[in-house]
Amino acid sequence: MTAGEATRRTEVRAGVVQWFDGAARDLPWRAPDRTAWGVLVSEVMLQQTPVVRVEPAWHAWLEQWPTPADLAAAPTADVLRAWGRLGYPRRALRLQECARKVVERHGGVVPRTEAELLALPGVGEYTAAAVLAFAYGKRSVVVDTNVRRVLARAVGGSALPAPSYTAAERRLATALAPEGDADAARWAAASMELGALVCTAKAPKCGACPVAGLCAWRRAGSPPDAHADKRRTQAWAGTDRQARGRVMAELRQASEPVDRALLASLWHDPAQLDRAIAGLVEDGLAEQDDVGRLHLPK
């Protein structure tokens, strides 16, 4: 890397952080009184779910289960009902499993090391790094889809990052993270925010970008996505996922086990409905009683 490139990277980082100081959203999991548990819950909820849907659910969740011990002791059916329509309800099960391990292994306190966080159910590389940075203010390399997109464009000169996270991206993200704890945590939050609000996947707001003049992608003439043919969009209508969602919605609102005949009225394809129900049972999201009626796990 040349001296000029090193300087440009430093300027990109400084520009993004300065922008964040004035543009950061007032999110509850960023508040001074946030807890590590609140941060962890927010990160699990925000996986594949937009902020506008997560924020009210997060408030309700923390009001009901303000500590890992509270969630660990909760009936699983209540947990799945509270998850509501956030999507991918297996995340709710993993979050409760995580809470139980936090209680068993760490006395109910969310751990402060990467190794201990990664050993928790449902906590991967990104979530562990996010908790370290945003809950404990420690240096970590926080890379989500928003950060990947910012780095791909501003530093790499690509329209979008590769379909899968690469070793080269990890090296770049590590090199860009400041050495100091507070500075690294601030950069992590700032780069994520820029990707979420300005450097979006579709129709990026380059006119509002604080580092547009430094952006390698714009300097290269904003070339198209080199990996467009490898990206797949996930359908929803008519899929097994939609069928599962219909069944889960019925189970969440039911006070008694639901008969299969009622479930059959929810979906047009009996074979697909059978697959959806079998998948829910296999994933631990539903249970069947002795006469084949379905209910949420207890």
Residue 251 lies in a domain: yes
Q: Which CATH number belongs to the domain containing residue 85 in this structure?
A: 1.10.340.30
What pLDDT shows up at residue 22?
Answer: 96
15 & 156 share domain: yes
Measured over the CA atoms of residue 235, residue 239, residue 244 and residue 245, the dihedral's sign is positive
| Residue that terminates a domain, selected from 134, 151, 166 | 134
150 & 59 share domain: no
| Closest C-alpha among 188, 198, 181, 133 to residue 13 | 188
Q: What are phi and psi of 287, to 5 degrees?
A: -135, 155
Strand partners, 295: 287
What pLDDT shows up at residue 231?
Answer: 64
Q: What is the mean pLDDT of the chain?
A: 94
Q: What is the pTM of this model?
A: 0.91
pLDDT at 67 over 70: yes
- Known active-site residue 169: no
Q: How far apart are CA 101 and CA 111, in angstroms?
A: 11
45 & 129 share domain: yes
Catalytic residue among 43, 55, 193, 256: 43
58 & 105 share domain: yes
| Span 108-137, average pLDDT | 97
pLDDT at 213 over 80: yes
**Buried (b) or exposed (e) across 171-190, using 16+ Cβ within 10 A?**
ebbeebbbeeeeebbbbbbb
Residue 276 lies in a domain: yes
125 & 48 share domain: yes
Give per-residue pLDDT as tens, 228-286: 767 666 677 788 889 999 999 999 999 999 998 888 888 989 999 999 999 999 999 99
Residue 189 sits in which domain range? 3-25+141-230
Residue 30 lies in a domain: no
What pLDDT shows up at residue 6?
Answer: 81
Q: Is 243 exposed, middle or buried (0-12, 13-18, 19+ CB in 10 A)?
A: buried
245 & 223 share domain: no
| Residue that terminates a domain, selected from 230, 256, 287 | 230
Residue 121 lies in a domain: yes
Give per-residue pLDDT as tens, 174-198: 999 999 999 999 999 999 999 999 9
40 & 129 share domain: yes
Question: 295 near 254, Cβ under 8 Å?
Answer: yes
19 & 42 share domain: no
Indicate the helix (H) or strand (E) that contains 116.
helix 114-118
124 & 43 share domain: yes
99 & 173 share domain: no
Residue 235 lies in a domain: no
